[in-house]
Amino acid sequence: MPIVERLLLGPGPSNPYPEATEGLARPLLGHLDPAFLRILDETCDRLRAVWRTDNPLTLPVSGTGSAGMEAAFVNLVGPGDVVVVGVNGLFGERMCDVAARCGAEVVRVDAPWGQPLDPSAVLGAHRSPSIIALVHAETSTGVRNDVHAVARGKGDALLLADCVTSLAGIPVDIDGWGVDVAYSGTQKCIGVAPGLAPFTMGRRAWERRRPKPQSWYLDLGMIGDYTASMASGQVARKYHHTAPVAMVASLHAALGAVLDEGLEAVWARHEANGRALQDGLEKMGLELWAPAGYRLPQLTTVKIPDGVDDASIRRVLLLEYGIEIGAGAGASAGKVWRIGCMGHNARPQTVSLLLAALAEVLGR
C-alpha cells in the first residue's frame, strides 16, 4: 500500500491536511524573494492567531519540536538558574535534560506517568525559580497538565510551556493565560510534515533573555531586532539562516485551513472525535490509561489487554488495514497503545475505521 494512503494514528506525523501537501508541492521560491517573505509574514500572523497572542516574537523555528524546546531554554537559562520542571512523562524528562545542559539547577516535581501534575506542587517547589516549565499535552501518556493553573500562580517566574501536541488540538491561550514562552511542532494537530517548531515569546521573557546563548543557531537575538518590535509591533527581519521555504509554505497553508475552519471549531472537532474514540474503546471493554478529566482527545492511551501481543496487533493493523497506532513510550512500552486522533485525522470516518479494525483484529 502506498504510504500516503496509510492512516497514521500514532503520535508521529498525522496525515497532513490536503492544503499542507499542496503547499509542500508548490514551486520553490528563493528564501529572500519578496513573495516568500510575504508568505513568511503571513505565517507568523497565522501563528499569532493560533497561539492567541500578540507577541511580535512569534515564528516557525527551523527544526522539529525539540528545536523549539532548545530555543526556549538556551535563550533563557544559564548556569545556576533555578528551573522548576514538572515531570510526568518522557517530554518533561527531556526538559530536565535540556535545562541541565544549560547549567540550570533543576528542581523536578514528579507525578507518576499516566497522572496529571499537581499545579500547587509545581508552584510550591521553590521560593523564587527563574522559570517554571511544563508540558501541556504529554504525548507519552495522553495526559493534559493544567498550564493555566500554573500560569495563575507563577509570580515573578517565567512560565515555559511545551505545546507540541496541544496547539490547534485543545485550547491554548498564550496571552489570556500569561504564558511567557511556548513552542510546538508542525506534525501533530496542525497536520504538517515534521520540520518546524512554531514558537512564541513575550516581552517579559525577551527582556530577561541571556545576552549570548551558547547556541548560535537558536539565539533569538540573532534572528531579528525584537527589542524594537516589542515597542512597535513590527518585526524588523534580517538574514540569519536560509529559511526552509517548502516547509514554511506548507505550514502557511495548513494554518490557513485551521483558521478557515475556525480555531474553536477545530478544538471542538478534536474533542468530539477523540471522545468518540475513547467511548468506543471503552465499549469494547478496553481500559483507558489517563484519568477522566485529564484525557487528551487528540492522543488516547489505552491499556493492552492481558495476553494480547502488542507488536503483532500493531503490525496487522498497519499491514492489513493501513492504520498505524503508536506503541507505549518509556516505562509504558508493551503496556499501552497511544492512538492519535489529531489534525486532519480527527474525523468520524477515521474513528469508525480504527474501532472496527481493532475489534476485528482483537477478536481473531
Binding site for ligand PLP (CB under 6 A): 11, 64-66, 69, 91, 135, 139, 162, 164-165, 185, 194
Neighbours of 101 (CB within 10 A): 13
Q: Which residue is nearest to ligand PLP (CB)?
A: 65
Q: Which CB atom, from 48 or from 136, has the smaller least distance to ligand PLP?
A: 136
Question: Are 201 and 172 a contacting pair, CB within 8 Å?
Answer: no
The least CB distance from residue 194 to ligand PLP, in Å, is: 5
Q: Which CB atom, from 58 or from 139, has the smaller least distance to ligand PLP?
A: 139
For residue 116, give the C-alpha cell.
496529571
Q: Which CB atom, from 302 or from 361, has the smaller least distance to ligand PLP?
A: 302
The per-residue DSSP string of 260-277 comes to HH-HHHHHHHHHHHHHHH
The least CB distance from residue 189 to ligand PLP, in Å, is: 11
Q: Which CB atom, from 65 or from 114, has the smaller least distance to ligand PLP?
A: 65
The least CB distance from residue 69 to ligand PLP, in Å, is: 6
Contacts (Cβ under 8 Å, ≥6 apart) of 184: 65, 68, 163, 164, 166, 167, 190, 197, 198, 199
The least CB distance from residue 135 to ligand PLP, in Å, is: 5
149 burial (CB, 10 Å; 0-12 / 13-18 / 19+) is: middle
Q: Which CB atom, from 13 or from 202, has the smaller least distance to ligand PLP?
A: 13
From the list 304, 307, 329, the residue with the least C-alpha distance to 317 is 304
The least CB distance from residue 280 to ligand PLP, in Å, is: 24
Hey, is 354 helix, strand or coil? helix
